[in-house]
Amino acid sequence: MSSVKIGLVLGSGSSRGWAHIGVIEALEKHGIEISLLTGVSAGSYIAASYAGGALESVKQFALGMDWKKVLSYLDLAFPRSGFIEGQRVVDLIQTYMDVTYFEEFRIPVHMLATDMLTGEQVVLSDGKITDALRASMAIPGLLTPKKINDRWLVDGGVVNPLPVDVCRAMGADFVIAVDLNSERINQDRMQENSQERERNLAGIEKKRIEVVKTWMKQYGSKGKAMSTKIDKWFSPQESSPHIFEVLGSSLNIMQKKIEETNLEHHPPDILIQPRLGDLKLFDFHHAERAITEGFLQGEQAIPEILEKLETFRQI
């Protein structure tokens, strides 16, 4: 097999998704050419960035993130099917790309979503890129679901957070998978980050005030009544875990269990596992650390990748 079709699987992981950028940079540095991409949730976002020629621009945007900017991209929705619309996040990628539809990607991309009514995994590989991203990234209960072809779709990580099987089915001979859910939360590091957590919660409180003002302006007395409800949702004074922390932690646990089972049945040829277990759902402002960790883990995997690829080419 002189020519090997290399598939890259970019798994789910919310803010840890920036690590995918570092892994891709390590692969490119050593001339490893990716033939196709399979992404889910945050992995779909980076896959689209790379295949759309916007990876460097997205990287610079990520490195410029702070907590205030994170909040500015949370387009809060009236909580019927999710707290956040998520459209601002996916529209951002269109700012950096010259492509709009899957067919325009320079590398084939497949994104994974979940049919919220049947539990079926749905592979998205045509149509408008931003629509597919909205579906693939729609964390249940947090981001509102996306309707595509009369199906309500949510985050693909619900059923397959590391879709190695999908990548092989799409034609990959050799699969490199990036798993962002391998490391359990580091309690010591969580202690070290307690002060930052308080700052983050204070930022959420500022966002809460903005939402209250908007609702009161739009809905009058009803808006005031609704504001009392979200006081507890966003209050930094509450001793119990914040709702976003509950959702994020629960999703991480679920995805880790699913991955463990899936990897037994569908192992990749190379598994790269950045150690970012302490990063929480909205820690997008830790991009530098995540990208660096992704690059380092990618570099460590290079000798094994090159050795296995050489074996493949000799077959």
Give the Cα separation of 82 and 140 in Å (integer). 7
β-strands 146-148, 121-124 pairing: unpaired
Q: Which of 12, 14, 155, 269 is catalytic?
A: 155
Query: CA-CA distance, 238 to 82, in Å (whole number)?
Result: 21
Round to whole Å and give the CA distance between 190 and 195.
Answer: 10
C-alpha triplet 283, 274, 249: angle, nearest 5°: 45
- Residue among 304, 183, 190, 200 at smallest CA distance from 244: 200
Helix (H) or strand (E) holding 148: strand 146-148
Separation between Cα atoms, residue 68 and residue 81, nearest integer Å: 25
24, 29, 33, 37 alpha-carbon torsion, rounded to 10°: 0
Q: What are the structure tokens assigned to 113, written together? A: 């979503």
The amino acid present at 212, given as its one-letter code, is V
Would you call 303 exposed, middle or buried from its count of C-beta atoms within 10 A (0-12, 13-18, 19+)?
exposed
Q: Which residues contact 46 (CB under 8 A, 6 or more apart)?
A: 10, 17, 18, 20, 21, 24, 39, 55, 58
- Rg of the chain (C-alpha set): 20
Annotated active-site residue in 12, 15, 41, 49: 41
Annotated active-site residue 41? The verdict is yes
Helix (H) or strand (E) holding 112: strand 109-115
Neighbours of 314 (CB within 10 A): 8
Partners of residue 155 on adjacent β-strands: 113
Q: In this structure, are strands 36-40 and 109-115 parallel, antiparallel, or unpaired?
A: parallel
The residues assigned a catalytic role are: 41, 155
